Amino acid sequence: MLEQLGATKEFDICIIGGGATGLGIAVDAASRGCKTILLEKYDFAKGTSSRSTKLVHGGVRYLQQGNIKLVMEALKERGLLKKNAPHLVKNQSFVIPNYKWWENPFYGVGLKVYDWMAGSLGLGPSQLLNKEETLALAPNLDQDGLRGGVLYHDGQFDDARLAIHLAMTAVDHGAVVINYMNVEGLMKENEKVCGVIAKDSFENKEFEIKAKVVINATGIFSDSIAKLDDKNAEPLISHSQGIHLVFDKEFLLSDTAIMIPRTDDGRVLFAVPWHNKIIVGTTDTPVSSASEEPVARKDEIDFVMQHIHRYLKKDPSYNDIRSVFAGLRPLVKSNSKITSAISRDHHIAVSDSELISITGGKWTTYRKMAEDVMEIAIHKAGMSEKECVTKHLHIHGYKENNDYTAPLYYYGTDETGIKTAITKDNLLSELIHPSLPYIKAEIIWAVQNEMCMTVEDALSRRTRALLLDAKAAIESASLVANMMAKEMGKNENWIKEQIDSFISVAKNYLPTSNPKLQTSN
């Protein structure tokens, strides 16, 4: 990638930020035939894009809020993504348990509208359930006062894995994508942005990269890039933190997820099976500043625990939390003080010097966001009309007829490469830790093929070890650092630095910031 960067005089499109938004734009731009470069300060999906609820959804909540346009668009994108990345997006059934007489007809009608809006891209019809049918699908629900439920369908995915496969799709179409490359300045000619100044975090080497158009897709950091352009730029973004708790699968025995339609602060809460664990969340807490490693607050953990206790037969204790992860939503700024009422719609701004910034949106709508911003970018670049082709573009690893319970399914066609490595060295089939579903071959594959540069990349985003079980991930760090060092030709110092740096990040995923947990641990 660095060689290609050196050999290119000028790119058509330069994208700052390697989350869902930036990677989607890179795929769109490269597949239209534009000379494309994407620069990511840390690792792909290090920001918000690895910290979502993992749903590809229209957003039942936005339907409740009456945001029909957003739901229609997201439902269409849900269907397209399921078709283009069937190895990563699966049909997930949800039950809304009902304890009040009016809830079944109310949610039943709402979800029929949801089905109707999805049209031919629907994932299956919603259905009213009586008490027995509800318990058959979700046996862990508290039976006391349960009247029935509503079954509906949405999509589920692995966010960081999709991000890596989007990066690979962009590369498959000729893009240059580089992680650990921080954009520190913008280049200008006649007061128009004509490129970026970026620094390679490992070599400390500076690059001046020329491009016809520069797109700011830095999510929660968008305002800091906008300020590089114009130090008086008005803030575009407000931040809202959402956290998730991860538990063992025993607390949700079936494969059906639970959707709690109304929390005390008027949100929805999900308990969703994921990689043989369950994820429960989320919250919506306004925060004043952006951070690449946000940390869950005690009151947020308590909030999720209190709500999930109301609905489950067997209550998980604080000791049962395997991992806690927090993410910040890049919400388009509005005057509302309640962040859950701010629209998830995306917003595109073009500055006087023609820096294009795209903010807001959701993982589910990344493709449409990319299409919208590229229409503007192509015009600004003065390039001839190039059709968007991503509606029917296969994502890297595309494979039909997937068994979502099989190990390695999430690699799609790349699974063959990993299996071939195992046939050459059977030791690579060993688990990296007895409590984690990942094998050694995945670490080697990530280093050789997926631009995995650090132990955190390997344990947080190439595998999802840190999110599934933070303690086990910490215990795997030494093995993974040693394997990576051998593969990358690194020394003992590197190994030590990597382990220390991973542990300092991973500690935030152990729920020890909660005093109740500290005593019970």
Ligand X SMILES: Cc1cc2nc3c(=O)[nH]c(=O)nc-3n(C[C@H](O)[C@H](O)[C@H](O)COP(=O)(O)OP(=O)(O)OC[C@H]3O[C@@H](n4cnc5c(N)ncnc54)[C@H](O)[C@@H]3O)c2cc1C
Answer for the pair 34, 59: CB distance below 8 angstroms, yes or no.
Answer: no
**Contact call for residue 19 and ligand X (CB under 6 A):** yes
CB of 299 to ligand X, least distance (A): 16
Q: Using CA atoms, how far apart are residues 462 and 167, in angstroms rounded to an integer? A: 12
Q: Which stretch binds ligand X (CB under 6 A): 36-44, 93-101, 438-446, 501-509?
A: 36-44
What counts of helices (H) and strands (E) characterise the chain? 17, 18
**C-beta nearest to ligand X: residue:** 19
Out of 11, 34, 47, 483, the residue judged to bind ligand X by CB under 6 A: 47
Residue numbers 135-154 binding ligand X by CB under 6 A:
none
Q: Which is nearer to ligand X, 64 or 429 (CB)?
A: 64
Site map (CB under 6 A) of ligand X, residues 281-320, x = contact: -x---------x----------------------------
Strands 346-350 and 323-332: unpaired
104 SS3 class? helix
Q: Give the span between the Cα atoms of 63 and 344, in whole angstroms.
A: 12
β-pair partners for 270? 259, 281
What element of type H or E holds 12?
strand 11-16
17 binding ligand X? (CB under 6 A): yes
Residues 6+ positions from 342 with CB-CB distance below 8 Å:
238, 240, 331, 332, 333, 334, 336
**Closer CB to ligand X, residue 221 or residue 438?**
221
Q: How many residues bind ligand X (CB under 6 A)?
A: 41
The H or E element spanning position 238 is: strand 237-248
User: What x-and-dash track marks residues 192-231 binding ligand X by CB under 6 A?
Assistant: -------------------------xxxxx---x------
Q: Is 40 in the site for ligand X (CB under 6 A)?
A: yes
Distance of CA 373 to the CA centre of its chain: 20
Q: What are the φ/ψ torsions at residue 171 (nearest 5 degrees)?
A: -65, -40
Give the interface segment with ligand X, choosing from 16-24, 28-36, 87-95, 106-114 (CB under 6 A): 16-24
Q: Measured from the CB of residue 475, what is the shortest distance to ligand X in angstroms? A: 26
Q: State the DSSP code for 390.
A: G
Stretch touching ligand X by CB under 6 A, among 13-21, 94-102, 379-387, 414-422: 13-21
Nearer to ligand X, 86 or 242 (CB): 242
Place of tokens 């859950």: 340
Site map 52..91 versus ligand X, x via CB under 6 A: xxxx-x----------------------------------
Binding residues for ligand X restricted to 352-381, rule: CB under 6 A: 361-364
Strand partners, 326: 243
Terminal Cα-to-Cα distance of the chain (whole angstroms)? 45
CB 155 within 8 A of CB 123: yes
> Does residue number 510 form part of the binding site for ligand X (CB under 6 A)?
no
Output 48 or 84, the one with its CB closest to ligand X. Answer: 48
Q: Which one of 30, 31, 37, 42 is in contact with ligand X (CB under 6 A)?
A: 42
Query: How many whole angstroms separate alpha carbon 222 and alpha carbon 349?
Result: 11
List contacts with ligand X (CB under 6 A).
Answer: 16-22, 39-42, 45-49, 51-55, 57, 182-183, 217-221, 225, 242, 282, 292, 327-330, 361-364
